[in-house]
Amino acid sequence: MNTNTAEVIKILDTDNDRTIKEMVDKSYTRCRLTGTFIDDFYDAFVATSPKIAERFRKTDWETQKRMLDHGIRHLILFFHEPSPVTAEKMIQLGESHSRNRLNIEPELYDFWVSALLSTVAESDPKFNPELEKAWRTVVERGISVMKSMHDE
C-alpha cells in the first residue's frame, strides 16, 4: 500500500471531534506541568519489554525526550486538523519507524500506547475513563497511520 497525504486526510476527516482534541490537549498540558512526564513515560515504556529496553540502550535521551514531546503534539494536531501538513508529518513519522529505517514492529506500538496511557493516568489529576477514551481515540488515529507505513 502506498499511503499518500490525500488518502490519510480522507480517512481521518470523517469523525473529527473538537471536544476530544480539547480534552486531550488540556490533559497533556497538565501532564507536562508535572515536570517529569516524559521521564515517567520512558521509565514505564522501557520497562514494558526487554525488546524495547534493548532498542533504547544507546539512546540520546535529551533528543529522544524532545522528539516524544513533538510527536505527542503532532498526534493531537493530526487528530484535530487532518490537513496536508499534519498528515504529511504522520507519514514522515511512519516512514522513519518503518521496516527500512528504525524497523519498529507494529505490535510494539501497543506497548507505547499502554505506557502513554498509564503515565497520563498517573500524571493528570483529572484523569478518568472518559479522558482515557479520548486519549486512546487521538493516539490510535495517528498510530494507525504509522503502523500502515511499516512495510513501505
pLDDT band at 6 (very low <50, low <70, confident <90, very high): low
Q: Which has more pLDDT, 139 or 152? A: 139
Query: Is residue 78 in a domain?
Result: yes
* Whole-number Å distance between alpha carbons of 86 and 79: 9
Is 86 within 8 Å of 77 (Cβ atoms)?
A: yes
Whole-prediction pTM? 0.85
> Average pLDDT of 67-78?
93
Domain containing residue 65: CATH number: 1.10.490.10
Higher pLDDT: 95 or 29? It is: 29
Digit-coded pLDDT (tens) for 11-44? 444 444 778 989 999 999 999 999 999 999 999 9
Sequence-distant contacts of 46-53: CB under 8 A, at least 24 apart: 48/111, 48/114, 48/115, 49/108, 49/111, 51/108, 52/108, 52/111
Q: Which residue has the higher pLDDT, 98 or 115?
A: 115
Residue 143: domain span: 18-148
Residue 136 inside a domain? The answer is: yes
Residue 81: phi and psi, rounded to 5, are -130, 80
Supply the pLDDT for residue 87.
Answer: 83
CA angle 98, 107, 103 (to 5 degrees): 25
Residue 118 lies in a domain: yes
**How many domains, in total, are found in the chain?**
1
Q: Which three cell numbers stand for residue 109?
A: 506500538
Residues 148/93, Cβ–Cβ less than 8 Å: no
Q: Is the pLDDT of residue 9 over 70?
A: no
Decide if pLDDT at 89 tops 90: no
Q: Is 38 inside any structural domain?
A: yes
pLDDT at 127 over 80: yes
61: CB partners within 8 A, 6+ apart? 42
